[in-house]
Structure 1
């Protein structure tokens, strides 16, 4: 949709809503929700995995089969989000003037007060498990104390953020022009009024926000001017859910271990078999099971010695394929214990796949974070017009991929680098890199003071 068509349709909200909704391809949210939630997995569906008909002394009956869903989808999403956003996203800038430093300070305060270090990770999880999510920014009035001591002192507003997602009751409709630029964003949702749920549809553009409410007489709209000049919505999306490539492997794995569970229920304990005509049958899960035969029949134990190796091999292969092709590291206690002690380089190699995946994900998610930063810059310059000269300052997000650290190895390396002989690293730099140090400047001052005190003590002894 082009800008001119959008502006023409604004006068007819019903037609506008239809056009906006039609711009988005069909989206089966229920399907991917069932894949993520173990209660919706195929092995839990009695149509796909029906109960088993068995013959007992009382005649035929149906007993439930083993249903063992495995939350691989959740594990894939959680670990992928942890590797990309497990460490807080840093704002990288090189402010020179006082006003630029003030802008960075205000961005940091806005970031912290909205708890974006936590919400960024949550937004990433929603994108990976639902393929789309958005954040809606709006202004909120504050008292005079909120901005006290900052460049915004005296301002009466601050920025707040709300997460929009299908799982939270929102329908998301980004509108793009032929160049691929988002020119508007639609949000559909329902709000309770009395004993009814009323349909709402809001449209956000760089010029205005149009809030629509459906009534018996049609759509009732309330337009609001957008003073910021940017669409107040940051939209994140990806083509498919994070586990899409391994979904069939997961379903096969769940079927395999569920079938194995059924086999164990029937053959896990020995069965006394009476040779001859069978007159009675055992029930699934019954301990000390007996099959009865005619008089004079020969009795013997039937037992299943071990699971076929082919079943075990299939399950092992499936689990390995699921983790490998989703670039999900196996960090179970058993796996890590079997690997022994690792050096820093070995740990990096172990998590190489997860880090490469995080790098790919950053290309998508990082663009949204950059748009967020640009929006916050523009919005704060409206809250405080004195900040406008600082808008040319480049502020970039920096992601630090999660990696378990070997603190002893790092300290030994730093000690060697600043040691006797020909050092290759200054003590100040080494202190800053020390993983045990919280504040490098304070730590260096303390080191210098201790050196001074030690020298003074030595001088006193020599006198």
Structure 2
């Protein structure tokens, strides 16, 4: 594997591009049975197979109608004596169902409905370590990380791959960062750390390069930018030591001399500034066949309703006089032995209804997605906390399983941010950046029975199991109160006021 780094250092673009192409991830090569184009078609409803008019999917119907003589009503023949026919196309119904989008959105909701927190291990007696932890939180908050986490997870689950680039930029909001510096006890920073998301649907081709142990040793991104009404190709290569920027402006790939430092920038953190997230298949892969079958049934059923939803009068024999629209006391005049009746299905399509219900049930169950539509939830009533936990157990298990891959990326991110702080932003915190441990903690979203929760907390305090401090902290975690410290101060003020009032009453009684 060291040979890969040597090739990258050689700045031979053709050789560099070759090693990344030869080690393309599964989402690009289709080695896992899925390509990004296939995932895109399945995710967006407008490109579902039921919307495809190709003959191998769901073509519109071709109808041949005989040409009749307007005067006699007899069929017109061509010169060869064959019946003349006209060709027309009848559009079939197409009912796409956004199941992949629902599956992804609900998985993201359960995984990140509660923001990711950190289990932090540091020495509280060392101000530098406390300052580093606060600095990490400020950088993440500035990057709007809670919202970015959801975007990254959604892209990973639907596109199978995405990446986040962390980079330095000169501080523009000096007032804000000066305030942050004075509050957490650091020097005012000259640079801030920003984050940008890359993904296939954003126009990026992502090339991670791993060693034999699965560690990321380099990362590349191919993309296009418009310059002077012309699209220009770029290829950026990130290593722990240097970032290389190649471009093809004049039919030749070379380092971008117009970029910073001639297209070669030293990575001061000594870490690859990219976090790569990937999974083998999109979130709905195991139920895709069922989704396609459901869409086909719904579309066919819509066609059937168009044919039989409105009454059709069939006349067997000769019709002497029809009924005009709007007449009251309508009568049909038929010739002898003629009959008239409405066409109707002999039996309702119960088997179709049952299959649709089964497909819907299995799609939700096998993708570990809760069916929380209004029609499903309205009859449940007031559920206890235990009942809610059991109801959403499968969704929680799926969210916990997703931590296996998404959590690794979050851990790498916080380690990278610590490296930015200790190596670039404030070197006085370098030792703290190496000793402080921050581990991401996920809390899957769970609807709460707040009445039951509050009653449990009150009983815990009354029973001497929990202190009021712990209870207020838990109340803050659940969003019941805004600031646990402020709430504790208010409780103490109220207790002091009650004690003072009782003392005054006691003095008056003496």
Structure 1 length-normalised TM: 0.92
CA distance in 1, matches of 2:347, 2:422: 71
Quote the offset at 1:314 in angstroms: 0.2
Contact 1:272–1:300 under 8 Å retained in 2: yes
For residues 358-391 of structure 1, the C-alpha deviation after alignment (integer angstroms, 9 at most, x for no partner) is 1110010000000000000001112211111102
Q: 1:148 aligns to what?
A: 178
For residues 27-57 of structure 1, the C-alpha deviation after alignment (integer angstroms, 9 at most, x for no partner) is 4221110100001001101111011234667
Q: 2:11 aligns to what?
A: 11
Q: 2:222 aligns to what?
A: 188
Question: Aligned to 1:431, what secondary structure does the other structure show?
Answer: helix
Structure 2 residue 473 is the aligned partner of structure 1 residue 432? yes
CA distance in 2, matches of 1:61, 1:293: 33
Q: 2:42 aligns to what?
A: 35
CA distance in 1, matches of 2:466, 2:128: 35
CA distance in 1, matches of 2:205, 2:297: 37
Q: 2:200 aligns to what?
A: 166
Question: Which of 330, 339, 350 pairs up with 2:391?
Answer: 350
Structure 2 residue 406 is the aligned partner of structure 1 residue 397? no
Quote the offset at 1:15 in angstroms: 1.9
CA distance in 1, matches of 2:106, 2:442: 15
Q: 5 Å matches for 1:299-448? A: 299-304=340-345, 307-382=348-423, 383-391=425-433, 392-419=435-462, 422-434=463-475, 435=478, 436-448=480-492
The 3 A distance-change label for structure 1 pair 301 and 8 is closer
The 3 A distance-change label for structure 1 pair 45 and 415 is same
Question: Aligned to 2:445, what secondary structure does the other structure show?
Answer: coil
CA distance in 2, matches of 1:109, 1:232: 19
Question: Aligned to 1:316, what secondary structure does the other structure show?
Answer: helix
Contact 1:185–1:203 under 8 Å retained in 2: yes
The 3 A distance-change label for structure 1 pair 277 and 52 is farther
Structure 2 residue 262 is the aligned partner of structure 1 residue 253? no
Structure 2 residue 102 is the aligned partner of structure 1 residue 75? yes
CA distance in 2, matches of 1:138, 1:274: 78
Runs of 4+ in structure 1 over 6 Å off: none
Question: Aligned to 2:418, what secondary structure does the other structure show?
Answer: helix
Structure 2 unpaired stretches of 5+: 68-85, 256-262, 320-331
CA distance in 1, matches of 2:207, 2:455: 54
For residues 155-177 of structure 1, the C-alpha deviation after alignment (integer angstroms, 9 at most, x for no partner) is 31111111010000100000111
Contact 1:175–1:185 under 8 Å retained in 2: yes
Q: 1:285 aligns to what?
A: none
Question: Aligned to 1:172, what secondary structure does the other structure show?
Answer: strand
Structure 1 unpaired stretches of 5+: 279-291
Q: How many equivalent residue pairs?
A: 447
Q: 2:326 aligns to what?
A: none
CA distance in 1, matches of 2:318, 2:149: 68
CA distance in 2, matches of 1:309, 1:231: 59
Contact 2:240–2:267 under 8 Å retained in 1: yes
Question: Aligned to 1:304, what secondary structure does the other structure show?
Answer: coil
CA distance in 1, matches of 2:265, 2:335: 91
Larger Rg computed on CA atoms:
2
CA distance in 2, matches of 1:304, 1:257: 18
The RMSD of aligned alpha carbons is 2.1
